Amino acid sequence: MATHEALDLLKEMRVFQHLNDAVSDVHFLVGTTARTGRKRRTTHSPRKIAVKIAQFPLDVNIGLLFGSEKWGLNNQELSLCDSVVTIPTSKFSSINLAQSVMILCYEVFTAKLGNELIQRPRPATFMEKEGMYEHLYHVFASIGLFDKQTPSYWMRNARRLFNGKTLTARDVKMVRGFLRQISWALRNAGD
């Protein structure tokens, strides 16, 4: 009864067992966290992230990722996000999930009002970026980068480097082209 105006949204709702499946076609994924600190990723305010989201064309899939009220998102889930947002609060660190959703949706809605649609390149989807990270992993392994540090160390830093940017599909193709050339050069180094 309370959601009769949003019945069309409920009818189109899909349920996924795994996060990667749920965000596979998302171009820009924003995670939410109340945890901040020196060793954590830089977070943005809801208003700042909403302004960034409002700049995307309407055909770009944006994902807002919220954790449970009890635990929030874990570090692995946050590492999949292109950007992280923290809702500022007073003396307590977290707020109700429904309130968090409402605050972010309101900020995106108001940022979209009056924003002229500017033609921008399509951002890379989650799956395109994951393919790039997997390709990067294999190239790192082939050049012996993991001999001095663990793979998770290098991959976490690579994600941190790329997640700070809004990678376009073209950017991902270019990085993967570089990686293919490096792999080719390594295979043909003895010739």
Q: For the whole model, what pTM was predicted?
A: 0.62
Cβ atoms of residues 51 and 86 within 8 Å: no
Q: Is the pLDDT of residue 130 over 90?
A: yes
Pick the more confident residue, 27 or 9. 27
Residue where the block lists tokens 């790039």:
132
Phi, psi dihedrals of residue 132, rounded to the nearest 5°: -65, -45
Residue where the block lists tokens 């890379």:
124
Banded pLDDT at 2 (limits 50, 70, 90): low
pLDDT of the residue at 6:
75
With CA atoms as reference, report the closest residue to 80 among 169, 156, 148.
Answer: 156
Banded pLDDT at 107 (limits 50, 70, 90): very high
What is the pLDDT of the chain when averaged over all its residues?
A: 85
pLDDT tens, residue by residue, 38-88? 666 778 899 999 998 988 888 889 999 998 888 888 888 998 999 999 888
> In the predicted model, what is the mean pLDDT of residues 10-39?
86
Domains by residue range for the chain, with CATH: 4-112 (3.40.1280.10), 126-187 (1.10.8)
3-state secondary structure of 37: coil
pLDDT of the residue at 1:
57
